[in-house]
Amino acid sequence: MPRASDEASTLRVENLDVTYGRAVSALRSVSLDVPPGSVVTLLGANGAGKTTLLRAVSGTLRLHRGAVTAGGIRYGDTALDGQDPVAAVRAGVVQVPEGRRVFAGLTVDENLRSGGLGLGRRTPERIKEGRDRVFALFPRLAERTKQQAGLLSGGEQQMLAMGRALMAAPRLLLLDEPSLGLAPQMVERIADVIREINAQGTSVLLVEQNAGMALALADHAHVLEVGEVRLSGPAGELARTDAVRRLYLGETSETGGTGETGETGETGETGETRGTRGTGAAAPAGTERGVA
Amino acid sequence: MTGLLDTLLAGLALGAVYALVALGFVIIFKASHVMNFAHGSMLLLGGYLTAVLHEHLGFAAALAVGVLATAALAGAVDRVLLQRLPQDPKAAHVATIVTIGIDILLVTDLARRIGGDLLSLGDPWGDKVRTLGPVTVPDSRLAAVAVSALVIGAVFALFRYSRWGLSLRCAAEDTEAAALQGVRLGRTRMLAWCLAGALAALAAVFLAAFPATGLERTTGQIALKAFPAAILGGLASPVGALAGSLVIGLTEAFVITYQSDLHVLGDGLSDVAPYVVMILVLLVRPNGLFGAKGAVRV
């Protein structure tokens, strides 16, 4: 629970409505808080609106012809709804996009330099500080600074995408499906790093389909379904509810089958499942919407 | 032998000037996915301003005004007009066609002002030549090579080391990911247009200088030869634009020198040679000399 003194660095999403192209409603009256120092996770099937929520916070809705039509987003004293992405970065809120999205033709070093470009001119000392922190978390990146980012493995690219975001010294990190398409050991590594980043004082809003990993990491969890928050509660409690176990932890008689979602195919590393096979298929048919 | 060296130097100088134009063209394409067909007329504007102002202000100040005004115009065209169009990369054709309209407007007005005149830009090199060993070179050509090399070097350093250059390269690779780092997309793009405009205005000086006879209303069309240079270089590759420009410049110089030997192909071969070279290169390397996409692991 946030104390009054924490108000300055709490992300507060209130009664948020988001619409794409003026017609497709993607989020309806969504409310959630990310108190400082916490890890909050947002679960849900494809098309439930998880990525949309992150876009609304980071200010990239407009790039997808989306807009906040009601409600608001505040980080501390800063209103973030309707702002451009620079405002979020300056407020200390930085998103790691789904599918890594590293700058493939740029070197690892240049990718890291790109992190926090929105902060304006920074002293070389501050940049070095950020880089040292990233290399401490991801020693493997330190060995590959001159390498083209596109030639890194999927796991290394995820590390680079997270490292790039950390270069902006965020107080709140928005992570969109960091486990997507990664081998189980790599998912473990990423989970450890998220714990470490959080222990260093950065709060985390984690969007995941890998509900097992997310619930293990998070203090608090919300379940989105067709654009609305269906369940909320402490992660431990939520993990024990029947609905979550059935829908998101895959603990049903329905295993395998059509378990692969469309997204895994895109990553090119299929076959490395996320330990919760069946997540996508077990979701109610009604959640399949054209909105990501 | 002297003929060969002369031709090489002439080609190099020509290529250096084309490189200024082609580099701007490529920077604009990289930043905004727009082919700027108004590039030639922007060049003409820069040259025209330098020509009419140099008697009052002196060459250097007139050139500075020409360069800044052209940069401002290019930036304004992007910011005020093109950035308002739908920003879907697939809709970049619309912006490209808009630049054709701007080109027609600019060229029509400038042609009206210039008429049939040949305007001197008042450059300090005049028709002076100097003898370097076996060859005699116009000063203006040496200046073209030296200035282009310096300016292009500076542009590459900007690309590599400046925050603007990094922003531009990030945005060119992945607009949304760049936005998430806080890159100001609109400003980065506008500055790219400004820089390209400035480079074009500078190129006008050397296109009008000796051995050319001055700035005329068709000088902008000469700059069209930078288009095949950019395309055969790979369109989105600054290094490619440089290489392509040298290829085109050398080709043109050699064709002019040996035109009489190639008489079977008809007169005016030097005007079409750049396009022939472009087509031949694209037949062998469809992505251009430097257009091949780097390998990407996913």
pLDDT at A175 over 80: yes
Out of A84, A97, A106, the one facing B176 most closely (by C-beta) is A97
Residue A114 to residue B183, Cβ atoms within 8 A: yes
Task: Kindly state whether residue B56 falls inside one of the protein's structural domains.
Answer: yes
pLDDT of residue A276: 37
pLDDT at A127 over 70: yes
Q: Is B23 within 8 Å of B235 (Cβ atoms)?
A: no
Residue B163 to residue A117, Cβ atoms within 8 A: yes
Query: Which B residues, 92 through 151, put their C-beta within 8 Å of a C-beta on chain A?
Result: none
Q: Average model confidence (pLDDT) for chain A?
A: 84
Assess B178–A contact: CB distance below 8 Å, yes or no. Answer: yes
- Residue A53: HSE in the Cβ half-sphere, 13 Å Cα cutoff: 37
Task: Report the residue of chain B nearest A104, measured CA to CA.
Answer: B296
Residues 6+ apart with CB under 8 A from B296: A104, A150, A151
pLDDT classification of A195: cutoffs 50, 70, 90: very high
Assess B166–A contact: CB distance below 8 Å, yes or no. Answer: yes
* Residues of chain A found within 8 Å of residue B167, distances taken between Cβ atoms: 114, 117
CA distance B235 to chain A (A): 16
Out of A60, A106, A113, the one facing B180 most closely (by C-beta) is A60
Task: Report the residue of chain A nearest B173, measured CA to CA.
Answer: A103
pLDDT of residue A56: 96
Range of the domain at B216: 2-221
Residue A118 to residue B183, Cβ atoms within 8 A: yes
pLDDT of residue A124: 85
Residue A118 to residue B184, Cβ atoms within 8 A: yes
pLDDT digits (tens, 9 = 90+) for B207-261: 998 888 889 888 888 777 888 899 888 888 899 999 999 999 999 888 888 877 7
pLDDT of residue B2: 65
Out of B166, B174, B294, the one facing A101 most closely (by C-beta) is B174
DSSP string, A29-43: EEEEEE-TT-EEEEE
Residue A117 to residue B169, Cβ atoms within 8 A: no
Q: Across the A/B interface, how many CB contacts are shorter than 8 Å? A: 92
Q: What is the pTM of this model?
A: 0.86
Rg (CA), chain A: 18
pLDDT of residue A283: 39
Q: Is B36 within 8 Å of B270 (Cβ atoms)?
A: no
- Segment B189-199 shows an average pLDDT of 97
Task: Report the residue of chain A nearest B186, measured CA to CA.
Answer: A84
pLDDT of residue A275: 36
Weakest mean pLDDT among A147-156, B65-74, B205-214: B205-214
Strand order in the sheet with A78-79: A24-34, A11-20, A66-75, A78-79
- Segment B25-54 shows an average pLDDT of 94
Residue A209 neighbours by CB distance under 10 Å = 24
Task: Kindly state whether residue B174 falls inside one of the protein's structural domains.
Answer: yes
Residue A94 to residue B170, Cβ atoms within 8 A: no
Task: Kindly state whether residue B10 falls inside one of the protein's structural domains.
Answer: yes
pLDDT at B296 over 50: no
Rounded CA separation B12/B142 (Å): 9
pLDDT of residue B244: 92
pLDDT at A172 over 60: yes
pLDDT of residue A280: 38
Residue B182 to residue A119, Cβ atoms within 8 A: yes
Task: Kindly state whether residue B12 falls inside one of the protein's structural domains.
Answer: yes
Q: Average model confidence (pLDDT) for chain B?
A: 89
- Segment B247-276 shows an average pLDDT of 82
pLDDT classification of A94: cutoffs 50, 70, 90: very high
DSSP annotation of B293 = P
pLDDT of residue A89: 95
CA distance B167 to chain A (A): 7
Rounded CA separation A129/A124 (Å): 8
ipTM of this complex prediction, to 2 decimal places: 0.86
Assess B179–A contact: CB distance below 8 Å, yes or no. Answer: yes
Residue B174 to residue A106, Cβ atoms within 8 A: no
Task: Kindly state whether residue B145 falls inside one of the protein's structural domains.
Answer: yes
Task: Kindly state whether residue B202 falls inside one of the protein's structural domains.
Answer: yes
Out of B176, B184, B298, the one facing A86 most closely (by C-beta) is B184
pLDDT digits (tens, 9 = 90+) for A35-68: 999 999 999 888 899 999 999 999 999 999 899 9
Q: Is A15 within 8 Å of A29 (Cβ atoms)?
A: yes
Residue with tokens 């084309």: B18
Task: Report the residue of chain A nearest B237, measured CA to CA.
Answer: A105
pLDDT digits (tens, 9 = 90+) for A230-282: 989 999 888 888 777 777 766 654 444 343 333 333 333 333 333 333 343 33
Task: Kindly state whether residue B16 falls inside one of the protein's structural domains.
Answer: yes
DSSP annotation of B218 = T
Task: Kindly state whether residue B288 falls inside one of the protein's structural domains.
Answer: no
pLDDT classification of A147: cutoffs 50, 70, 90: very high
Out of A105, A117, A121, the one facing B181 most closely (by C-beta) is A117
Residue A97 to residue B180, Cβ atoms within 8 A: yes
pLDDT at A33 over 50: yes
pLDDT classification of B171: cutoffs 50, 70, 90: very high
Assess B222–A contact: CB distance below 8 Å, yes or no. Answer: no
- The domain tally of chain B equals 1
pLDDT at A213 over 80: yes
Out of B166, B175, B296, the one facing A104 most closely (by C-beta) is B296
Residue B294 to residue A105, Cβ atoms within 8 A: yes
Judged on CB neighbours under 10 Å (0-12, 13-18, 19+), B239 is: middle
Fill in the amino acid letter for A95: Q
pLDDT classification of B297: cutoffs 50, 70, 90: very low
